[in-house]
Structure 1
Amino acid sequence: MGIVSVRFQQAAGVVLDRGEVIERTAAFVRSRLHSDSSGHDWWHVERVRGLALLLGRREGADEYITELAALLHDVSDYKFNGGDLDEGSRVSYDLLRDLGESEACARSVAEVVRNVSFTGAGSVSRMRTIEGMVVQDADRLDAMGAIGIARAFAYGAVKGEAMFDPDQAPHLHASEAEYLARDGSTINHFYEKLLLLKDRMNTESGRSFAERRHRVIEAFVHDFVAEWRLEDLPEL
């Protein structure tokens, strides 16, 4: 996704209420992501939005900032924009300012968008606010469980990854740069990211939600490898 011009310009003196800002933000994001086939589409954003609001209510987060950040968290994913980790935050900030939001609000959302992504096993979360924590937890929850498995293979197909290469060991990337340069199979991605997410939840609610989804992907990887090695077949 390349840089896009923000399309909403408010007439002088016109102030949108929060509901209108949410609606226009959602419309903007949906227009950008509606044709995605990598698992980072509008419906991923909608699921993250719902999860983030649920987690946020349990954790006492500001609902407005949480919803805006969840809507915008993948507006320009670094995995598709050439590796620019800052572009999404710039687009988010400019959009919200053009919609008439305060600088403080726009900066709060942009900070979450900048730091939401997983960038390697050796990279630590930099979320400073509870809003950032619940959005990041929601995004990670959607990378787990049955939907997470489906999304992993959709992403691998778009990126031209092999489903599995038994000669290629998983690699726990030590830095953002190393993770950005990763070259591996989809099954390796489970070891390099998805199976690590349970222990990287920020909130108690996120950790609770992650338990079942982690077990789903654990069982899937176990069964996949067993079938690959023909270990699941009955003795003749």
Structure 2
Amino acid sequence: MTDTMSRYLTEDATSTPLAEAALKHAFLELEGDTSGHDPYHIVRVFRMAQRLAKTESADLETVELIAALHDVKDFKFTGDDMSGAREAERWLLEQGASSELAELVSGNIAGISFKGAGTETKPLTIEGKCVQDADRLDAIGAIGVARCFAYGGTKDRPIHDPATVIAHHSTTDQYLKHQGTSINHFYEKLLLLKDRLNTETAKQIAVERHAFMEAYLQQFYNEWDAQA
């Protein structure tokens, strides 16, 4: 764990010892990631989810646990749609959490991730909705642009190829196996997120971030065509 991560944990960042342990667990699991799903992503999602939990009167510990564990053994890395949910439940029970809390957290983790524009979504509690919004906010705006290209690089995706058709996937398997481009990923996921948020606070935050991506894409195309 980096010194920065260790310092973060000393700043009364969590509401309970279990939430602090979950953050530490996630930091260790995701340390060294270069796809944009590193410990700093967890910190940003965790902080934003806390902010949304307050505006939505959601249970703070539950929100923190979902946020901390949402990318551990995630389907993007395992290819298994339920691996993250199972790992969260296993870890929580191992820590002595109640079966009810473990099931609540794992059930929400199972439904948080975007798995294709046309895929069926799993129902979330208000706590899961807060974390889903926080996670989606981190996928748009300036950081979202940076993460898009970082993730594309780990998947050997080209930056842009005008001949590559945009695809809206109807199954998680299609989404995982699709080898598109990083620019197409904006249209296949990132630009869709603003209208798929749950909370009013997240929707307000998303407006500026969404506009930034649209402006970025226009500048990208201008430079691609040697017009800027």
**Which of residues 68, 73, 80 in structure 1 aligns to 2:70?**
73
Q: Residue 88 of structure 1 contacts residue 113 of structure 1 at CA under 8 Å; is this kept in 2?
A: yes
Residues in 2 aligned to 1:157 and 1:89: alpha-carbon distance in whole angstroms: 26
Moved more, 144-153 or 168-177: 168-177
Q: Residue 55 of structure 1 contacts residue 134 of structure 1 at CA under 8 Å; is this kept in 2?
A: yes
Residues in 2 aligned to 1:84 and 1:115: alpha-carbon distance in whole angstroms: 13
Q: Which residue in 1 is equivalent to 2:213?
A: 217
Say whether 1:41 aligns with 2:38: yes
Instruction: Give the CA RMSD over aligned residues.
Output: 1.1
3-state SS, counterpart of residue 195 of structure 1: helix
- Of Structure 1 and Structure 2, the greater helix share is in 2
**Which of residues 157, 161, 169 in structure 2 aligns to 1:165?**
161
Q: Which residue in 2 is equivalent to 1:22?
A: 19
Say whether 1:196 aligns with 2:192: yes
Instruction: Deviation per CA, 1:151-171: give whole Å up to 9, x if none.
Output: 001001111110101111211
Moved segments of 4+, more than 4 Å: none
**Which of residues 49, 54, 57 in structure 2 aligns to 1:57?**
54
Instruction: Deviation per CA, 1:150-207: give whole Å up to 9, x if none.
Output: 0001001111110101111211112222212211000000010000000000111111
Moved more, 20-29 or 84-93: 20-29
Matches within 5 A, 1:80-99: 80-81=77-78, 83-99=79-95
What's the offset of the Cα at 1:127? 3.0
Instruction: Deviation per CA, 1:45-97: give whole Å up to 9, x if none.
Output: 0100000110111011110100000000000121111x111111111001111
Matches within 5 A, 1:1-16: none
- Which of the pair has more CA radius of gyration? 1
Provide structure 1 residue ranges, at least 5 long, that are not aligned to the other structure: 1-17
What's the offset of the Cα at 1:124? 4.2
Q: Which residue in 2 is equivalent to 1:184?
A: 180
Q: Residue 149 of structure 2 contacts residue 182 of structure 2 at CA under 8 Å; is this kept in 1?
A: yes
Q: Residue 97 of structure 1 contacts residue 103 of structure 1 at CA under 8 Å; is this kept in 2?
A: yes
Residues in 2 aligned to 1:180 and 1:31: alpha-carbon distance in whole angstroms: 25
What's the offset of the Cα at 1:230? 1.6
TM-score, length of structure 2 as denominator length = 0.91
Q: Residue 141 of structure 2 contacts residue 208 of structure 2 at CA under 8 Å; is this kept in 1?
A: yes
Residues in 1 aligned to 2:225 and 2:65: alpha-carbon distance in whole angstroms: 46
> Alignment identity in percent?
44
TM-score, length of structure 1 as denominator length = 0.88
What's the offset of the Cα at 1:19? 2.1
3-state SS, counterpart of residue 75 of structure 2: coil
User: How many residues of Structure 1 are paired with residues of Structure 2 in the alignment?
Assistant: 214
Q: Which residue in 2 is equivalent to 1:127?
A: 123
